[in-house]
Amino acid sequence: MESITENRRNLNTDNIPAELKIRRQWVVWRYEIRDGNKTKVLYNARTATPAKSTDLQTWVYFDDALEAYDKGGWDGVGFVFSSGDPYAGIDLDDARDPETGEIDERAQGVIDTFDGAYMEVSPSGTGVHIIICGKVPKALKKDWIEMYPQERFFTITGVAL
């Protein structure tokens, strides 16, 4: 069995905002192959059954998700955006060089716009997740940028930008 330290190699809990940790909007996730594609699938950390980004009964508190993650078998933890919270998520794909940490110019413009928001590196090292206190009117997915007000989850690494 992996030690907790080894298992947390991709998770820095110290950087995750406390205001997110206190909410019951957490899941665990792992990579799975679906329809021939590698995808991140979310699970209820207490039951190890599939979770849904649209069903708050399948979400847990951060400490429960972290405990399940530490036991192994999961690739990470995730935060689910809900209509009942004040948050929205912005996902910037292919925005960062994983070797140098350099941010793409177009992504830098978005990052500068949300200065002060919680920002972290995605599990791949190439993306950036931004969690803002505020809402976007509806989900948007266009090319390299996605915005979600609810019914989606973000993988959380705690690797602050």
Place of tokens 């915005």: 147
With contact defined as beta carbons under 8 Å apart, do 128 and 92 qualify?
Answer: yes
pLDDT tens per residue across span 74-90: 999 999 999 999 999 99
Domain boundaries, the chain: 4-81, 87-151
Tokens of 18: 């406390």
Q: Residue 136 — pLDDT band, cuts 50, 70, 90? A: confident
Catalytically active residues, by annotation: 91, 93, 129, 146
Nearest to 138 by CA among 124, 150, 156, 128: 150
